[in-house]
Every structure is written in structure tokens, then in C-alpha cells.
Amino acid sequence: MTTSIKTRFAPSPTGHLHIGGARTALFNWLFARRCGGRFVLRIEDTDVDRNLAGAEDKIREDLDWLGLTPDESPWTGGPDGPYRQSERLDIYTQYARRLLDAGAAYYAFDTPEELAAMRERARAEKRSFKYARPTALPSEQEAARARAEGRPVVIRMKAPDRDVTVPDVILGDVTIRAEELEDFVIVKANGYPTYHFAVVVDDELMHISHVIRAQEHLMNTPKHMALQDALGFRRPVYAHVPIVMNLDGTKMSKRDKHKAVRTRVQEWLKSGKWTRADLAGAAGIDEAAAARWLDRADVEMDGEQLARVAAALDVTPPEIEVYDFRRAGYLPETVLNFIALVGWSPGEDREKMTLDEMVSLFSIERIGRTSARFDREKLLAFNTDACAAATPARLMDAFRDYARLSRSPMAGLDDATLSRALEACRGLRTFHDVDVKVGVLFAPDDAVKYEPDAVRKVLARHEGRGYAMLEALLPALETFQPWTAESTDTSIKSFCESRGAKLADAAQPLRVALTGRTISPAIGETLALIGREAALRRVRRCLAMRTRAAGN
């Protein structure tokens, strides 16, 4: 049992799953599957302030969508639970006691302000700060007294006094010199364990054999090893994977979304296009909260609020979290395939893979050492290919999920119509494309927004040539029989022929009349999808609008 393979993914419940986190989860999941081992999901909720209500459900939802289901987790249970750190507090206390008794850890009473001042002084003197271990360690009595006096009491772990070498399967041996190591807090003043402490205890108790995590944790590992040694724990195999970056080389962060929206808000405020009240209104929050968000880079509004503001501003914030990609209309299998390739490669120029194929191809040794940039263009291309390759049933299923989330007018379509619409969208890149291309056909007439550019170019130009065409076409349209894609297509073509016009001369004005834009499936297909009644109605409506505009 002790020799069996077990990996874990341990997010903190702060919101939807970050794409980088998803990749870490995927690697852990793949490795466990590959080895016939188990995959554990543990919730690291030891920061009372940062925990967000509902975040755990979001993570679960994202993982489910991707298909990375855990074998053990807070919601599936398992032999080594509980899987929420906040429910394991007594366990940590027990081990902290052991460290204290062994003299491996000690009480400390510094206030956050004092610590900040020490760090500040060190910076002013241009030396690096290192916590100075007191020569005489505080006793239990002194700790009790400090507590009684209202001072914060934490427990610090003694850093090892010799060099530590981290054995890493990706990076090789990494040695950190003893003087770089510092005594670190393992139990906070509020009694909660810190990440370092909880991780080590849980990985041991949960029999984790391989720790696959982001490279930003590399320098934490000596701390974890010190804890393992002091507690007599096993040493899991470590694999630190390179960090996922933005195309510009900065770290991919949730804040990027806020930054993008914030920038646009600022532009609009400056140009007088918007007021702070508009912002608050769009977000659905009060003005004070809106102002705080606007002025401080570290303040975030929730995902839904941000999405509303972004929509009002007509900007698309970068997709960062798994849920962003889902809502943007990507297939989960594409996301999985693509993120697997960010930092890992099976070799032999292999790129397109199903999850099952990845399982059989995966190995930690083939994970790279270089930080990799996340290229959305390539993801888009992957998704395009995946949609083209997907079976109609799969596509329909995935689209329904998208339509529900994005409140598409296509959400309620019956199977036959939806499959027809999807077929008409062959070549789609994301489901958002489908929504753009055929969504309006299923929306109420008044949802049609006539784009000024389209109207000018296709209808109004050359003394209203497009409108004239519509007027001529309307009576013919009324006689089209039967109303199918093939038949209406033929009818329009012969209509054009009889007038010595090109197909585009009729198709484009019709497209604009029906959708308000120049984007839609082939014209016959468009007519079939929208239906006879709606088609005639929208053409008449479009012509009536022109008359009204001319009257002004």
C-alpha cells in the first residue's frame, strides 16, 4: 500500500480553477492513471480571509467539465479524509506538539508590524532579511503569558543547519545552502497551520507518493523536507513543472482580466463616455465598491460582475480560468489537449491526442524545464480542428452546455434544428462563432441590431441599391415553395439570373435584412433556419425602417 502511486491536486478555494492549476491537475491525474494509481483532491483552506464562499463548488464544476475526476476528495470521500484542511485542525495541532516537544519548533511572539519593520530595516540597509532565532527559546509559560497579554503567538519551525538538496525528477538535484534557509511559521496566531505545515502532514497521512506542482514551489521544498525529517515522514517524489505564462512573458493571472477591463473603464471615463455611476450600474455594485475596484489593482469583483462590466464595455477580457474557456465556447477536450502540451510533449511530433491517448503517452520525464507561454491562437486552431473532428452528437451535447451558460437564444432548440444549425456552421472555431453566425436567427426580431457599417455598405450605398433589391426580391420571396435550404437557394439563384445580377447582389442585402450583419450561413440555409414567416417579417421590417429613416 505504501509503495502504490498516489498524486494529489490541492487548490485553495479562491474561485474558479486557473488554467495553470488545471494543467497541474491534469499532470497529476494523468500520472496517477498511467500508473494505475489514485488521484486525490484536497482543499487547502487554511487562509480564513482568502477563502471564498462557493469556490469549492466552482473548482469541482471546472474539474468535472474537464473530466479530471478525483478518486478521493471532499465530495467523493476516501480512506484518508477529511480532505478539507479546515477539518483537520486537530491533526496539525498534534504534530505541532510533537515538533515543539522535540525542540524542532518554537513559539514566537512578533507582531506583523514588528516583522514588517524588521524587513523594512533590512531592505534599507540593503541586506536580505532573515528571521533571527532567539538564543533562548520561549517556554510554554511564556507563550501562555504572551497570549494572555494579547500578543500573537505563532509556532516557528527551525530551519535545517545544513545544506539541503531537493531531488527533483524534472530539474535534477537542486541544492540550497543552509544560510539561505530561515525559520518559518508553521502555526499561525489564529491556530491554523500554514501551507507548508499542512501540506507536509497531509501528504504523509494521505500517502501521496508523487508531488507534481508548479515551479514556484521549488524554494518551499527545503522547508517541507525539514518538516518531513523532523517528523520522521517519508519523502515523496518531487516534480516541479514550469510555470504557464502570458504571451508577453508575464505570469498568467486572474488579475489580468481585471486589468483589461479596468483599462477600458478608465478610457471610457476619460472620454466622458461613462461615469462612475455607469460602472457601478453595469457591475451591479454600489459606487463606493466600484471606486475601490477601479483604484486598486488588488481589489477584485466577482466573475459575474466583471463579465457584466466587460460586456457593457464591449471588451473581451483574456480567458484565464477554465470557466472562461468554457463560457467562451471551447471544447473541454481541446483545453485538456492544449494545456497538456504547454510544458509537456510526448515526442515524435505528436500533438492531437484524446485523454486516453495522453494517459498512455504520459511520463514525468518528458515534462520540460522551460516556462511556457500560453498561445490562445494555437488553442483556437486546436479547437477548430476538434470541432471539425467531433461527432454531431458530441458537438450538440457540448454546444448545449455552452448555450445554457451564455444564455444563447439557441439554448432551447430541439435536436433536429440544433443539429441543422451546427451543420450550417461547419468550420466553426468556437461555439461563440455559432452564436454569432446563427444565434440571431432564433432570437426575437427586436434583438436584431442593424450594424451601421453593414447597412451602409450593403443596403444604402449606390442610392440604396440593396434596398431596391430587397423590394424586388420580397414578392418573389413570398412565392418561394417549398421553404427549404435547397429550394430557396435555387429560387434566389434563378431570381438573380433573370435580372442579370450576381448571387451576392441579392444574398448580401437579404443577409443584412435578416440578421443586421453580413455574417450568416449560406443564404438558402439561412432562410431555412430562420423560417418563412420570420424571414418575410424581417425583410418587411428592414424596408420599413428605411422608409422611417428617409422620412427624418
Partner RNA sequence: GUCCCCAUCGUCUAGAGGCCUAGGACACCGGGUUUUCAACCCGGCGACCGGGGUUCGAAUCCCCGUGGGGACGCCA
Q: Output 246 or 305, the one with its CB closest to RNA.
A: 246
Q: Output 282 or 424, the one with its CB closest to RNA.
A: 424
Binding string, residues 424-463; x marks residues near RNA by CB under 7 A? --xxxx---x---x--------------------------
Q: Which DSSP string do the residues of 275-318 spell out, in sequence order?
A: -HHHHHHHHTS-HHHHHHHHH-TT----HHHHHHHHHHHT--PP
Q: Yes or no: say if 19 and 374 are a contact pair by the CB < 8 Å rule.
A: yes
Which residue in the set 74, 236, 439, 524 belongs to the binding site for RNA (CB under 7 A)?
524
Cα–Cα dist 401/305, whole Å: 21
Which residue in the set 4, 50, 229, 311 belongs to the binding site for RNA (CB under 7 A)?
50
- For residue 114 the three cell numbers come to 514588528
CB of 270 to RNA, least distance (A): 28
Cα–Cα dist 138/126, whole Å: 30
The piece of 42-50, 275-283, 289-297, 312-320 that touches RNA (CB under 7 A) is: 42-50
Which residue in the set 385, 401, 451, 471 belongs to the binding site for RNA (CB under 7 A)?
385
Which residue in the set 97, 121, 177, 234 belongs to the binding site for RNA (CB under 7 A)?
177
Options 130, 188, 254, 457, the catalytic residue? 254
Q: Output 298 or 414, the one with its CB closest to RNA.
A: 298
Whether residue 222 has a cis bond before it, omega within 30° of 0: no
> Cβ-count burial of 156 within 10 angstroms (0-12 exposed, 13-18 middle, 19+ buried)?
buried
Which residue in the set 61, 71, 142, 180 belongs to the binding site for RNA (CB under 7 A)?
180
Q: Does 518 bind RNA (CB under 7 A)?
A: yes
C-alpha distance from residue 46 to each of 79, 215, 269 (Å): 22, 21, 39
State the residue for C-alpha cell 430562420: 530
**Contacts (CB under 7 A) with RNA, residues 197-216:** 215-216
Q: How many residues does the chain have?
A: 552
Q: Does 8 bind RNA (CB under 7 A)?
A: no
Q: Does 539 bind RNA (CB under 7 A)?
A: no
**Contacts (CB under 7 A) with RNA, residues 69-98:** none
CB of 215 to RNA, least distance (A): 6
Q: Does 196 bind RNA (CB under 7 A)?
A: yes
H-helix or E-strand spanning residue 214: strand 210-214
**Contacts (CB under 7 A) with RNA, residues 304-363:** 341-345, 347-349, 351
Q: Does 227 bind RNA (CB under 7 A)?
A: no
Which residue in the set 315, 372, 443, 460 belongs to the binding site for RNA (CB under 7 A)?
372
Mark whether 254 is an active-site residue: yes
Which residue in the set 56, 62, 72, 110 belongs to the binding site for RNA (CB under 7 A)?
110
Q: List the one residue out of 96, 90, 94 whose CA is nearest residue 154.
A: 96
Which residue in the set 119, 133, 273, 449 belongs to the binding site for RNA (CB under 7 A)?
119
Q: Does 292 bind RNA (CB under 7 A)?
A: no
**Contacts (CB under 7 A) with RNA, residues 130-169:** 152, 154
The conformational region for residue 132 under phi > 0 = left, psi -120 to 50 = alpha, else beta, is beta
**Contacts (CB under 7 A) with RNA, residues 262-291:** none
Q: Does 516 bind RNA (CB under 7 A)?
A: no
Q: Does 4 bind RNA (CB under 7 A)?
A: no
- For residue 334 the three cell numbers come to 481541446
Cα–Cα dist 485/524, whole Å: 4
The piece of 86-94, 370-378, 390-398, 468-476 that touches RNA (CB under 7 A) is: 370-378
Q: Does 519 bind RNA (CB under 7 A)?
A: yes
Angle 88-90-94 (CA atoms, 0-180°, nearest 5)?
Answer: 120
Cα–Cα dist 410/406, whole Å: 10
H-helix or E-strand spanning residue 273: none
List phi, psi (to 5°) of 483: -90, 70
CA 429 distance to own-chain centroid: 18
CB of 28 to RNA, least distance (A): 14
Catalytic annotation, residues: 254
